[in-house]
Amino acid sequence: MKKKILDLAVIGSGLSALNFADEYSKSGKRINIISYKNEKMLTENNYGKLKDLPTQMRGKMNNVKNYFHSNNLIVGNDCKVLGSLDFGGLSNYWGLQIDGYINNDQKINRKIFSSIENHFLKFLKKYNLVGSYFNNKNFLYKKDFKIPHQFESLIHKKNSNFYCKKPILGFFNQSKFKGDLNFINEKRSKLNSKNFFNNIKNNKKIIFHDYYVNKIFKKKDLFKVQCKNKNEEKNFYVKKLVLASGTIATTKLVADYLNYSKEIKIKHHPRLLSVFFSKKPIKFNLNFTPSILQIISSSKKDCYSADVRPGNKLITESIVEAFPFLKPAKLILNFFRHRTIFSNILLDTKYSNIFLRKNGKKFKLYCKKLNKKNLFNIKTKNIFKFLLTNQIIFPIYYSIFPGFGADYHYFGSIPLNGKGSLSVDNNCKLKGSKNIYVVDSSVFNFKTNKYPLGIMIANARRIGEHLSKI
C-alpha cells in the first residue's frame, strides 16, 4: 500500500502550535497537528518522585508522570521541571499573565522583530485580550482593567530601583469588556489551548491526530515521524515539520534527530515564591485571579520582576486540601485571602540551572550545585521594602525558593541565529535542515520579558504566515 504523505505537520498542541496553525490555515492549505489527547494512557511508569504541583494542576499527576515517561526523560532529584502529556500541555495551567511590552533581548534583525511586534498587535485585536500594549510610551492597544487604588498609584510613582506596569491578562474574546475583572467568565475566556482550539476547530483545513511523538527520522526528502497512542504505533511521512511541543520535548526531539550528545543548557527564570499581607482588602471574585501588577527592576545587569496576585479561591482550596486539619478554619482563611498578596519573583536568566543531555536511549534533566539562596533572598527583601515604603503591606512576609525549574518557564535551548547545529535561522528553520522549523519558546532568550507568551505566540504566527507562502 502506498504511504500517505503529509505536506506539513505540527508536533504539539500548545498555544504556539495552535497559533501557527491559525495563521497558516488562512492560506487555505491543509495542516496536520500531531499531539496526544487521551489523558488516561500510561499507567506503567515509575516516575514517582513528584509531589508538589502548581495549584492549577490539582488532580493531574498522571499527566505529569506520562509526560516524562513518553519523552524518555530521567529527572534528577534536585531538578524541579514540569511537563504534562495532555492536549495543550502546560498552556492549560499557566498564570494568565503576559507582558504588555516586547523587548528585543537578543538583538534580532530589526525587520524580523518588527514583524513579531506587528503579529502580536494583530493577535491582541483579533482575540480581544484584556490589557494594554504599549511601544515607545504609546498605547497601540488598550482594553484597560481596574485595580485597587493603592496599586494604581504605584504606576505613577517614580522610584530609582523599580517601575510598575499592568500586564496583559490571558482572557480573550472580551469585546464587551468594561474594565471589571469580576464580570469575566473564567471558564470560557481563559487563553488556554482547549479554549483556543474550540475557536479554530471548525476550520476544516486543520486535522488533528491523537498521538504523541517518539522519534523523528530523515527519509530522503521526507521526515518519518514515529508516533504512539494508547492503542497503536504509527508512522507519519511529512514534507515540512514544525516543532511546537514545548522547550524540553522539542529540544529532546531535535537532539535525538541530530544525535547531539553534548550538554544543552535550558534557560529559565528561577522563581521565588513570596507572600505579603495587604493593609487594605483586595477583593476579586474570580476563582483564579491573575496578576494585577508587575514590579520591575530598573537594573540592566540583574533584571528581575515581581507580580502582584491577590489571594483567590483556588489557592485557599488547595491549602485546605494539602492540610485537612485547616478545614474548620476555611472561613477564616477566606477572610484573610482578601488581604493576602502572592508574588512570583522571577530572576534573571543568568541564574538558569537546568541542563539536558542524552543518556543512552534516554535523556537526563539535571541541575548543578549552585548555592544562590542568599542572593535570591535579597531580591525578595527589595520587593518587600518597596511595598512597605509605599504603605501597601504590613511589615511581615514569607518567602521560599522552590528549586530550579519550578518557575515552569523553559526556553532558549535552540536559539535564533545561534551557533552550531542546535540553532535556527531568522525564519526559525533548523540549521543544516531544509524543512524542520521550531516555533515554540526554544528559540528565544527572554531576559527582560519575564512573561513572554505574547512574543512566542506572535513569532509562531509570523512563521505560520511565512510558511503559508512557500
Q: What is the pLDDT along the chain (470 residues), one digit of tens a residue?
A: 457 899 999 999 999 999 999 999 999 999 999 999 866 655 554 444 455 667 667 667 888 888 998 899 999 988 999 999 889 999 988 999 999 999 888 788 899 999 999 999 999 999 999 999 988 778 899 999 999 999 999 998 888 899 999 999 999 999 889 999 999 988 899 999 999 999 888 888 999 999 999 999 998 899 999 999 888 899 999 999 999 999 999 999 999 999 999 999 999 999 998 989 999 988 888 888 899 999 999 988 899 999 999 987 777 666 666 556 656 656 666 667 788 899 999 999 999 999 999 988 899 999 998 776 677 789 999 999 999 999 999 999 989 898 899 999 999 999 998 988 999 999 999 999 999 999 999 999 999 999 999 999 999 999 999 999 98
The CA-based dihedral angle spanning residues 309, 310, 315, 316, taken in that order and rounded to the nearest 10 degrees: 160
Q: Say which amino acid occupies 267.
A: K
Q: How many angstroms from the chain centroid is the CA of residue 303?
A: 19
d(CA 316, CA 342): 12
| Calpha distance 30→315 (Å, rounded) | 42
User: In the numeric block, which cell numbers belong to residue 213?
Assistant: 511523538
Residues 291, 308: Cα–Cα separation, whole Å: 5
Q: What region, left, alpha or beta, does residue 68 occupy, with left being phi > 0 and alpha being psi -120 to 50 degrees?
A: alpha
Sign of CA dihedral 378, 380, 382, 388: negative
In three-state secondary structure terms, 9 is strand
Cell of 467: 510558511
Spatial contact of 8 and 466, defined as CB atoms under 8 Å apart: no
Q: Do residues 428 and 416 make contact, with C-beta atoms less than 8 angstroms apart?
A: yes
Here the cell at position 143 is: 482594553
Q: What is the dihedral of CA 427, 429, 430, 435, to 10 degrees?
A: -170
CATH number for the region 1-94+192-267+353-367+410-470 comes to 3.50.50.60
3-state secondary structure of 140: strand
State how far the alpha carbon of 405 is from the alpha carbons of 296, 372, 375, 453, in Å: 21, 14, 17, 17
Domain extents for the chain? Answer: 1-94+192-267+353-367+410-470, 138-190+271-346+370-403
Beta bridge partners of 190: 171
Between strands 212-219 and 138-143, the pairing is: unpaired
Mapped onto helix, strand or coil, the DSSP state of residue 123 is: helix
262 SS3 class: coil
User: Is the CB of residue 443 less than 8 Å from the CB of residue 116?
Assistant: no
Report yes or no: 455 and 444 within 8 Å, Cβ to Cβ: yes
